[in-house]
């Protein structure tokens, strides 16, 4: 029996389509079960929570001032942990969320309240930072401060996704505090305001505006993220009949969010160009200088600086043999093989007289070292002479100088005081001991002299701390 297969038979295609459709629906269901958060949303609690955090009065205002002062200290001291701690206690996010909420729900009253408190918040923050940096004596630009006056598209992304995380955490039935704290740190709303105050105190209005622009970016895209999430979750609109006003507000938000994107995109392009320039210039130096004398020193001394339209790579051969014209020409040709380096300049820091100047410098350095060495040698000789003089002093002279002044005061009847060393032996060993020769006033009788000898012996034992000695006097 012969079996034939009909490849044009479409009877099984519906089953394949059905299975594929079932798999696709299964994947969609699985992803929806993971990513959907509609069931976790408590709209009433979210509205109450957002409105409760808008106010910048009383306790909240003082917390804001304290957190600004802490952040200012951290920025001034270039301490990242202190800045992070200040951001954790800062209430800056309240009015910003209020703005996003009121725009999304067409709540004009909440919009006015949020805008008023937002302005108060910015004013309090900037004026507090300004007063702090105007008073504090240490006002150098730390890296932490400098980083708050430059930005690019990445700051927009941080603000936007931070805002998404913030509003999603806020809409959950039980707020996720750790997520809110994380957003406060990631979006970094407070440091730019402190930086505005710093540069105002320094009267650097350009950098102050840059820092304020960074704060505006962060604020705007938190508002945009809040607006989008609340729209997706279909939070109820207020004053729905006033659709023209709501449409106007929506257009303003859209236009402003797109407008402030322009400069960050431009700066991010510069960041990319600089990164590519740094990478290719490093490769150029490492690959093309191979084989030249003192390669490691050349790599260490060479540098690259990016400036759109005026970038340059500097090769420093100071103190070494200058590169020949042929080598310079070859390196310039090799530079042009790197796409990003074509419009950059290759600069050589060298002179045909560099080697001569270097040799002269070495000679002068040696001459100065020789003079310094002679001076140090003379000082050492003087010290050695003084040491030799001290060594020449006998032991009895040192003791005599120490005791002679005191003994006359303590014993006024003593007419002569003499110290000398004597050597004696018992024929088994030889000892050197001190001998004190005393001559008392002749008017004293023998008993008085004996008593004085005992007194002076005790005094000398105390002074000599147990050293062996003898006393000889004119008792007879």
Q: Indicate whether 274 and 234 sit together in one domain.
A: no
Q: Indicate whether 227 and 333 sit together in one domain.
A: no
DSSP string, 132-201: HHHH-S-----HHHHGGG---HHHHHHHHHHHHHHHHHHHBSS--HHHHHHHHHHHT-HHHHHHHHHHHH
Return d(Cα 460, Cα 415) in angstroms, integer. 17
Return d(Cα 296, Cα 299) in angstroms, integer. 5
Residue 447: which domain range? 395-473
Q: Indicate whether 132 and 215 sit together in one domain.
A: yes
pLDDT in the model for residue 128: 92
Q: Indicate whether 427 and 318 sit together in one domain.
A: no
The neighbour count for residue 307, using CB atoms within 10 Å, is 10
Return d(Cα 418, Cα 44) in angstroms, integer. 108
The token pair at 428 is: 């088994």
Q: What CATH number does the domain containing 158 carry?
A: 1.20.1080
pLDDT in the model for residue 79: 78
Instruction: Give domain status of residue 358, yes or no.
Output: no
Tens digit of each residue's pLDDT, the chain (476 residues): 444 445 455 555 555 655 656 666 677 766 666 666 667 777 888 888 888 888 888 888 898 889 888 888 888 777 778 877 777 777 888 888 888 888 888 777 888 888 899 999 999 999 999 998 888 765 566 555 555 555 666 777 777 888 788 788 788 776 655 556 555 555 567 788 888 888 898 888 888 888 888 888 888 888 888 888 888 888 877 755 455 666 666 677 667 666 666 666 666 677 677 788 888 888 888 888 777 777 777 777 788 887 776 788 888 876 677 777 788 888 888 888 888 888 888 888 776 554 444 445 445 445 555 666 777 777 887 777 776 656 555 555 666 777 777 777 788 888 888 887 777 777 777 777 778 888 888 888 888 888 888 888 888 877 777 677 888 887 75
Taking the complete model, does pTM exceed 0.85, yes or no?
Answer: no
> End of a domain among 260, 286, 310?
260
Q: Is the separation of the CB atoms in 129 and 68 below 8 Å?
A: yes
Q: Indicate whether 328 and 463 sit together in one domain.
A: no
Main-chain dihedrals φ then ψ at residue 155, nearest 5 degrees: -65, -35
Instruction: Give domain status of residue 29, yes or no.
Output: no
Q: Is the separation of the CB atoms in 107 and 235 below 8 Å?
A: no
Q: Indicate whether 56 and 127 sit together in one domain.
A: yes
Q: Indicate whether 244 and 286 sit together in one domain.
A: no
- Whose CA is closest to 394, among 360, 420, 429? 420
The neighbour count for residue 465, using CB atoms within 10 Å, is 6
Q: How many domains does the chain have?
A: 3
pLDDT in the model for residue 38: 65
pLDDT in the model for residue 358: 45
């Amino acid at each position: 029996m012969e079996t034939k297969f009909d490849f044009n038979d479409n009877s099984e295609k519906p089953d394949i389509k059905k299975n594929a459709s079932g798999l696709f629906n299964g994947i969609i269901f699985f992803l929806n079960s993971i990513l959907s958060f509609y069931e976790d949303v408590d709209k009433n609690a979210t509205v109450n929570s957002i409105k409760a955090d808008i106010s910048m009065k009383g306790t909240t205002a003082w917390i804001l001032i304290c957190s600004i002062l802490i952040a200012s200290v951290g920025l001034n001291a270039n301490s990242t942990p202190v800045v992070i701690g200040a951001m954790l206690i800062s209430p800056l996010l309240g009015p910003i969320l209020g703005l996003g909420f009121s725009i999304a729900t067409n709540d004009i009253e909440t919009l006015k309240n949020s805008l008023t408190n937002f302005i108060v918040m910015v004013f309090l923050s900037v004026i507090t930072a300004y007063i702090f940096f105007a008073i504090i004596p240490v006002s150098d630009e730390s890296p932490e401060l400098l980083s708050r006056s430059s930005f690019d598209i990445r700051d927009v992304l941080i603000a936007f996704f931070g805002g998404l995380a913030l509003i999603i955490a806020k809409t959950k039935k039980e707020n996720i505090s750790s997520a809110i704290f994380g957003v406060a740190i990631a979006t970094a709303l407070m440091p730019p305001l402190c930086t505005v105050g710093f540069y105002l105190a320094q009267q650097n209005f350009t950098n102050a505006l840059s820092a304020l622009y960074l704060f505006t970016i962060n604020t705007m895209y938190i508002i945009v993220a809040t607006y989008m999430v609340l729209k997706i979750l279909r939070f109820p609109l207020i004053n729905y009949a006033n659709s023209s006003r709501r449409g106007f507000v929506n257009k303003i938000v859209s236009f402003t969010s797109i407008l402030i994107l322009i400069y960050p995109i431009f700066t991010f392009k510069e960041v990319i160009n600089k990164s590519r320039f740094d990478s290719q210039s490093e490769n150029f130096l490492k690959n093309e200088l191979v084989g030249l004398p003192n390669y490691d020193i050349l790599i260490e001394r060479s540098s690259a600086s990016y400036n759109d339209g005026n970038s340059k790579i500097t090769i420093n051969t100071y103190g070494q043999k200058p590169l020949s014209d042929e080598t310079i020409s070859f390196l310039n040709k090799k530079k042009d093989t790197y796409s990003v380096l074509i419009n950059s300049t290759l600069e050589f820091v060298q002179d045909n007289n560099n080697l001569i100047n270097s040799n002269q410098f070495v000679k002068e350095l040696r001459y100065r070292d020789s003079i310094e060495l002679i001076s140090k040698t003379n000082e050492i000789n003087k010290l050695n002479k003084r040491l030799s003089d001290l060594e020449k002093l006998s032991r009895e002279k040192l003791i005599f100088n120490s005791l002679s002044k005191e003994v006359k005061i303590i014993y006024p009847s003593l007419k002569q005081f003499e110290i000398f060393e004597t050597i004696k032996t018992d024929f088994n060993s030889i000892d050197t001991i001190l001998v004190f020769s005393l001559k008392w006033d002749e008017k004293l009788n023998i008993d008085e002299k004996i008593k004085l000898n005992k007194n002076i012996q005790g005094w000398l034992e105390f002074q000599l701390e147990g050293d062996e000695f003898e006393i000889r006097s004119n008792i007879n």
